[in-house]
Amino acid sequence: MTSSYGPWGIVLGGSDGVGVAFAHGMAARGINVVLVARRVPVLEQAAALIRLKYGVEVRTVSLDLSTPDALAELERRTADLEIGLLVYNAGADTSSVAFLDRDIDGHLDLVRRNCSGPLEAAHRFGAPMVARGRGSVVLVTSGAAWAGGATLATYGATKAFDLILAEALWAEWRDSGVDVLGLVLGRTDTPSHRRQAEAKGDAYDTAGLADPYRVAEEALDHLADGPTWISGSPDPTAGSPFAAMKRRDAVLAMSRGAATAAGKKADGRH
């Protein structure tokens, strides 16, 4: 993998869950890793384990990706490295609530992490990859991108942005030696998922949840099979599961699914 992509990879949102699983998978393949997240103790703990287990170099960068200068700062702090693999995994929504039940700053922070962030990261770190003729970019998106849904307004919209961005970059860079993959996640056993359940007072049940390490391994094995990879699907390169539906029906189905996932009953109103 280092010969195909380069000696260093960056994982944004790399302190736990799918992000740290990607870091382990990259390190197991001989790639040195830059872990980016906000929480310094969790970052350092993850980095220490990866160094011990795989013997690779690990650099930690504590950043709040919702701030305007975060990606410029990350570029400055990794300017001495050849980054060949970029995984943008930040931007989970740990409080799925109705649109007006979240303040505007919360919505805008999510947009900055999930839209401005991956766009800027892809531009800053993708340009050198294209110039070198090798590299890979993974934008982690979600099944929430397939259609609008109640309590998923901003989150689903940002993940749709990530999906379209990944597909477009794949189309532009496919002949340049740079692989781009939009990784569509379903419900996955992550700390953010656990925190969401705890905040609502729900019992946490891992039944039906994907294992983050299997998700990361699957993606790393299929970096060249873009533009889109639907994790855990029997047909991972297929289109939207709602493709045969009218948009209205798809939105209602997504809303029912969101309500069920939240442990509530959808009322079925149109």
b/e string for 53-73 if b means 16 or more Cβ within 10 A? ebebbbbbbebebbeeebbee
Active site residue 264: no
Kindly name the residue from 159, 213, 246, 265 that is annotated as catalytic: 159
- Return the ∠ at Cα 86 (arms to 235 and 214), rounded to 5°: 40
Orientation of helix 153-173 relative to helix 117-132, angle to 10° = 10
- In the chain, the DSSP E strands lie at 8-12, 32-37, 58-62, 83-88, 135-142, 178-185, 228-230
List phi, psi (to 5°) of 188: -130, 145
Active site residue 159: yes
DSSP letter at 7 equals: S
Other residues' Cβ atoms within 10 Å of the Cβ of residue 193: 19
Kindly name the residue from 5, 54, 88, 155 that is annotated as catalytic: 155
Long-range pairs of 156-163 with CB within 8 A, sequence gap ≥ 24: 156/254, 158/91, 158/110, 158/111, 158/113, 158/114, 158/115, 159/114, 161/114, 161/115, 162/88, 162/114, 162/115, 162/118, 163/139, 163/228
Q: Which residue has the tokens 């999510």?
A: 110
Hey, which residues are catalytic here? Answer: 155, 159
